[in-house]
């Protein structure tokens, strides 16, 4: 496919997302199934166009003066990719499979349009209804923080110290020009191509041998800040696919007892193969019906890691369509779920034991507010200082109860971490 034809395809996918109010991955998958002539490179390039457009949907619509799929794509080409009106016009020639030529109004918007008078939700590309929450979190930095969340995310690897060392892995994948992550002692960062794709890590021997996992530096740091120690009994209460379970196992060095579970047993499906590849020993407790998979462990854990279900606002660089589908009801539901899982963690922790509360959210309702509500319900609990955070003090935002990472300050996804002692 030509670059112009890819633009036309991206407009089709954006129209499908808008008309059917569906997640971008679903629309992209359906487009690929119905256009089998498109190769993997074409599909990746189209996905990159779609995601870049969704990242800048509000600001692109403001720039162009309308919010049609074509308009927001054109605006995003200018705002996100830095293309001039002339470069965009060359792609929109109206020739075979290319979008129709630019109108005079479109040319004028691309040449003279400005975000100078745009309101904060437009300039920062976020839903206007969460502006009060974001203002609480970031104050005058709100727009700058959200603009950083509208950029592409890097590709980070976590080196599995059970099997290798960072320098050794870096040497093995030198062809990809890895650089050490700025904050995580375990991480390597790989450069993305112009289409936003990185190298095929999952087919490389270092991955197949279990020496690395794909994991954002923020997620690595969240695991590090949990404070898991060798010899402890550690529960990963919301383990999902096991990303943090693997990191916890490496921190524990194979000593102690590591248990992983999740309220949704389907999310645990990938964890078994990942544990085996990484050489991490963990007990996976899969819930059956209404049975509590950890009933025998009450008051027995030294550390309970709660990677809580949340809105995922801190991952909008990777999932830009999610921000436009977020609703107030979803936030309320997540807050309720967070309270339940924190209360369960308190039951599991031994007297004097610890809870590491983690979200990939930047909303105070899911972070400090959730901790405050927990402290109100559990009068004997208290917030614990995080000594492992000392090297990060120059980068993270310190909140009342925890630490907030953001793309602007730490170059990571927007993870929040608080530590509690029961």
Q: What is d(CA 147, CA 145) in angstroms, rounded to the nearest whole number?
A: 5
Q: What is d(CA 122, CA 181) in angstroms, rounded to the nearest whole number?
A: 31
User: Could you tell me how far CA 213 lies from the centroid of its own chain?
Assistant: 15
Q: Any binding-site annotation on 262?
A: yes
Q: What Rg do the C-alpha atoms of the chain give, in angstroms? A: 23
Q: What is d(CA 149, CA 55) in angstroms, rounded to the nearest whole number?
A: 8
Question: Does 360 participate in catalysis according to the annotation?
Answer: yes
- In the chain, the N- to C-terminal Cα span, in Å, equals 59
Q: At what angle do helices 243-252 and 271-278 cross, to 10 degrees?
A: 30
Exposed / middle / buried, residue 296 (Cβ in 10 Å: 0-12, 13-18, 19+): exposed
Residue tagged 């745009």 (tokens): 118
Q: Provide DSSP, 258-302.
A: EEEE-SSGGGGTTHHHHHHHHT---EEE---TT--TTGGGTT-EE
Helical segments of 21-96, H only:
24-34, 40-55, 57-64, 69-79, 85-91
SS3 of residue 419 by DSSP: strand
Paired strand residues for 229: none
Of the residues 238, 310, 360, 422, which is catalytic? 360
The 3-state DSSP composition of the chain as helix, strand, coil percent (nearest 5) reads 50, 15, 35
By the 8 A CB rule, do 251 and 136 touch? no
Hey, which residues are catalytic here? 360
Q: Which residues are documented as binding site for S-adenosyl-L-methionine?
A: 262, 307
Annotated binding residues, written as ranges, equal: 262, 307
């Amino acid at each position: 496919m030509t670059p112009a034809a890819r633009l036309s395809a991206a407009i089709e996918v954006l129209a499908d997302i808008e008309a059917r109010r569906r997640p971008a991955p679903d629309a992209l998958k359906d487009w690929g199934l119905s256009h089998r002539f498109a190769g993997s490179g074409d599909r990746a390039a189209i996905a990159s166009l779609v995601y870049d457009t969704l990242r800048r949907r509000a600001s692109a619509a403001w720039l162009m003066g309308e919010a049609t799929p074509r308009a927001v794509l054109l605006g995003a080409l200018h705002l996100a990719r830095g293309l001039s009106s002339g470069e965009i016009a060359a792609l929109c020639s109206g020739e075979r499979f290319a979008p129709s030529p630019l109108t005079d109004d479109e040319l004028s918007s691309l040449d003279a349009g400005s975000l100078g008078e745009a309101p904060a939700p437009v300039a920062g590309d976020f839903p206007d209804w969460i502006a009060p929450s974001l203002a609480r979190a970031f104050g005058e930095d709100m727009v700058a923080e959200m603009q950083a969340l509208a950029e592409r995310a890097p590709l980070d690897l976590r080196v599995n110290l059970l099997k290798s060392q960072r320098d050794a892995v870096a040497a093995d994948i030198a062809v990809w020009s890895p650089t050490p992550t700025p904050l995580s002692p375990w991480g390597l960062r790989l450069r993305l191509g112009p289409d936003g794709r990185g190298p095929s890590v999952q087919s490389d021997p270092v991955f197949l041998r279990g020496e690395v996992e794909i994991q954002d530096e923020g997620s690595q740091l969240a695991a590090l800040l949990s404070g898991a120690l060798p010899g402890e009994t550690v529960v990963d209460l919301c383990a999902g696919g096991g990303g943090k379970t693997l990191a916890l196992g490496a921190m524990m060095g194979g000593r102690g007892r590591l248990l992983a579970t999740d309220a949704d047993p389907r999310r645990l499906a990938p964890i078994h193969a990942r544990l085996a590849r990484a050489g991490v020993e963990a007990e996976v407790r899969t819930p059956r019906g209404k049975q509590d998979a950890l009933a025998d462990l009450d008051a027995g854990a030294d550390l309970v890691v709660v990677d809580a279900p949340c809105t995922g606002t801190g991952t909008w660089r990777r999932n830009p369509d999610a921000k436009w589908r977020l609703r107030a009801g979803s936030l309320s539901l997540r807050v309720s779920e967070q309270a339940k899982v924190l209360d369960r963690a308190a039951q599991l922790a031994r007297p004097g034991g610890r809870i590491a509360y983690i979200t990939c959210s930047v909303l105070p309702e899911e972070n400090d507010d959730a901790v405050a509500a927990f402290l109100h319900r559990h009068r004997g609990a208290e917030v614990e200082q995080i000594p492992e955070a000392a090297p990060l003090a120059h980068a993270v935002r310190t909140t009342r109860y925890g630490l907030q990472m953001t793309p602007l300050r730490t170059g990571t996804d927007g993870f929040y971490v608080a530590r509690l002692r029961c």
